[in-house]
Amino acid sequence: DAGVIQSPRHEVTEMGQEVTLRCKPISGHDYLFWYRQTMMRGLELLIYFNNNVPIDDSGMPEDRFSAKMPNASFSTLKIQPSEPRDSAVYFCASRGDSYEQYFGPGTRLTVT
């Protein structure tokens, strides 16, 4: 398996633009997680899905953030409109029966 795949790896955008981050979990994993990592706050859980259903979105910072999982092999995290303080590395992770979470390589987002 190729592991958790995220795209793009780097995204630079201007304030106010819409940003869409994509994730393909490991096949067969029924949990999918979105995290955000910054130097000041460390790793933060934004939202997670179980069997494509959002279970806990209490970590989503505000209404500008939304996440979807239309099927078992794809999820998106959207920020609209983006702001400079959204600059961070966004990680997707998935988990199956073994309970080990596998992380993707991350998307480094820079909002100018």
Tokens of 56: 């806990």
Answer yes or no whether residue 62 interacts with another protein by CB under 8 A.
no
Does residue 35 touch another protein according to CB under 8 A? yes
Q: What is the spatial distance between Cα 85 and Cα 112, in angstroms, rounded to a whole number?
A: 9
Structural contact between residues 12 and 75, judged by C-beta atoms closer than 8 angstroms: no
Q: Which of residues 73-112 bind another protein (CB under 8 A)?
A: 91, 93, 95, 99-101, 103-106
Measuring CA to CA, how many Å separate 92 from each of 18, 48, 107?
19, 9, 9
Of the candidates 14, 18, 44, 83, which one interacts with another protein according to CB under 8 A?
44
CB of 76 to another protein, least distance (A): 18
Q: Please give the residue ranges that form the binding site for another protein (CB under 8 A).
A: 4, 35, 37, 41-45, 91, 93, 95, 99-101, 103-106
